[in-house]
A and B are shown apart, each in its own frame.
Chain A
Amino acid sequence: MAWHYLRRNPRLVAGLLILLGLLLFWLIGSRVVDVRGARPLSAPPDMEPSAEYLLGTDTAGRQLLPVLIEATPRAFEVGLLAGFVGLMIGTVLGFMAGFFGGTVDTVIGGLADTLLPIPALAVLVVIASTIKTNLTVEIMALIVASLAWMTPTRTIRAQVLTMRERGYVEIARLSGMGGLEIIFRELLPNLLPYLAASFVSAVGAAVLASLGLEALGLGPQNEPTLGMTIFWSIYYGALLRGMWWWWGGPLVVIVLLFTGLFLVASGLDEIANPRVRRAV
Chain B
Amino acid sequence: MTPGYIVRRVLLFVLVVWMATSVIFFLPRLAPGRDPIRERLALMAVSGSVMQTAIEEMARAYEEKFGLDQPLYVQYFRFMGDVLRLDFNVSLLMYPSRVIDLIGQALPWTVGLLLTATLIAFGLGTLLGGLTAWPRAPKIFSYLLPPLFAFSAVPYYLLGVLLVYCFAFKLPIFPISGGAPTGTLPSLTVGYMLTVMYHSMLPALSIVLAATGFWALGMRGMMVTTQGEDFMVMAEAKGLRGWRVFLNYGMRTAILPQITSLALTLGHIVSGALLVEIIFQYPGVGTLLYKAISGFDFFTINGIVFFVIVGVGLATLLLDLSYHLLDPRIKRQHA
> How far apart are B265's CB and chain A's nearest CB, in angstroms?
10
Using a CB-CB cutoff of 8 Å, which residues 107-163 of chain A contact chain B?
Answer: 113-123, 125-127, 129-134
B16 touches A240 (CB 8 A): no
A262 and B275 contacting across the interface, CB-CB below 8 Å: no
Chain A residues whose CB sits within 8 angstroms of the CB of B176 once the complex forms = 239-240
Instruction: Kindly state whether residue A215 has any CB partner on chain B within 8 Å.
Output: yes
In the complex, chain B residues 1-41 whose Cβ is within 8 Å of any chain A Cβ: 12, 15-16, 19-20, 23-24, 27-28, 31-34
Residue ID in chain B nearest A211 by CB atoms = B155
| Chain A interface residue bracket vs B | 35 or more
Known A-B contacts A234-B278, A239-B165; A276 and B221 likewise in contact (beta carbons under 8 Å):
yes
Q: For B193, what are the chain A residues with a Cβ–Cβ distance below 8 Å?
A: none
B235 interface residue (CB < 8 Å to A): no
Q: What 0/1 readout, one digit per residue, does chain B (143-180) give for beta carbons within 8 Å of chain A? A: 00000011011110110011011000100000011000
Q: How far is the CA of A239 from the CA of B293 in the complex (A)?
A: 21
How would you classify the secondary structure of chain A's contact residues: helix, strand, loop or mixed? helix
Q: Which of A69-77, A90-98, A251-259 contacts B (4 or more CB under 8 A)?
A: A251-259
Is A45 an interface residue when CB atoms closer than 8 A count as contact? no
Check A123–B23 contact: CB distance below 8 A: yes
Q: How far is the CA of A241 from the CA of B164 in the complex (A)?
A: 12
Q: A121–B267 contact, CB under 8 A?
A: yes
Residue A232 at the chain B interface, CB threshold 8 Å: no
Interface check A247, CB cutoff 8 A: yes
Cβ of B268 < 8 Å from any Cβ of A? yes
CA gap between A244 and B150 in the complex, in Å:
21
User: Is A212 an interface residue when CB atoms closer than 8 A count as contact?
Assistant: yes
Bound complex: CA A129 to CA B300 (Å): 12
B225 interface contact, C-beta 8 A = yes
Does B289 sit within 8 A of A, measured CB to CB?
yes
Flag B80-124 by CB within 8 Å of A: 1 or 0 each: 000000000000000000000000000000000000000000000
A208 near B: Cβ within 8 Å? yes
Q: Which residues of A contact B227 (CB under 8 A)?
A: 279
- Closest beta carbon of chain B to A240's beta carbon, Å: 6
Q: Which residues of A, 11-29, contact B by the 8 Å Cβ criterion?
A: none
Q: How far, in Å, is A98 (CB) from chain B's closest CB?
A: 20
Chain B: residues with Cβ within 8 Å of the partner, total of 60
Q: Which residues of B contact A130 (CB under 8 A)?
A: 27-28, 31, 33-34
Report chain B residues within 8 Å CB of A119: 266-268, 270-271, 308-309, 312
CA distance A4 to B18 in the complex (A): 53
| Cβ contact within 8 Å between A117 and B293 | no
Task: Give Cα A217–Cα B295 distance, bound, in whole angstroms.
Answer: 11
Please name all residues of chain B whose beta carbon is closer than 8 Å to the beta carbon of A244 when the two chains form the complex. 165
Report if B290 contacts A (CB, 8 A). yes
Report if B279 contacts A (CB, 8 A): yes
**In the complex, chain A residues whose CB is within 8 Å of the CB of B161:** 230, 239, 247, 251
Interface string of B292-312 (1 = CB under 8 A from A): 011010100110110011001
Interchain CB contact under 8 A, B34 and A117: no
A7 on interface, CB distance cutoff 8 Å: no
Q: Does A275 contact B (CB under 8 A)?
A: yes
**Which of B28, B158, B267, B278 touches A127 (beta carbons < 8 Å)?**
B28
Contact of A280 with B by CB under 8 A: yes
Q: How far is the CB of B289 from chain A (nearest CB, A)?
A: 7
Q: In the bound complex, do residue B16 and residue A259 qualify as a contact, i.e. CB atoms below 8 Å apart?
A: no
A129 near B24 with CB under 8 A, answer no
When the two chains form the complex, which single residue of A116, A211, A212, A259 contacts B153, counting CB atoms closer than 8 Å?
A259
A218 within 8 A of B: yes
Residues in A with CB closer than 8 Å to B23 are 118, 123
A120 engages B267 (CB within 8 Å): yes
CB pair A126–B28 under 8 Å, yes or no, is: yes
| Shortest distance from the beta carbon of A275 to any chain B beta carbon, whole Å | 6
Q: Does B200 contact A (CB under 8 A)?
A: no
Partner of A216, one of B33, B268, B275, B305: B275
Complex formed: what's the CA distance from A64 to B294 in Å? 24
Jot down 26 A-B pairs with beta carbons below 8 A, ordered by A.
A117-B267, A118-B312, A121-B268, A121-B271, A122-B267, A122-B308, A122-B309, A123-B23, A125-B293, A126-B27, A126-B305, A129-B298, A130-B27, A130-B34, A131-B31, A131-B32, A131-B33, A132-B34, A133-B33, A212-B271, A216-B293, A217-B293, A242-B169, A244-B165, A254-B154, A276-B224
**Those 3 A-B pairs whose CB atoms lie nearest each other, nearest first:** A119-B267, A121-B271, A130-B28
Known contacts A239-B279, A279-B227; 11 additional CB pairs below 8 A are: A118-B19, A118-B313, A120-B271, A122-B270, A212-B272, A216-B274, A217-B290, A239-B169, A251-B161, A276-B224, A279-B225
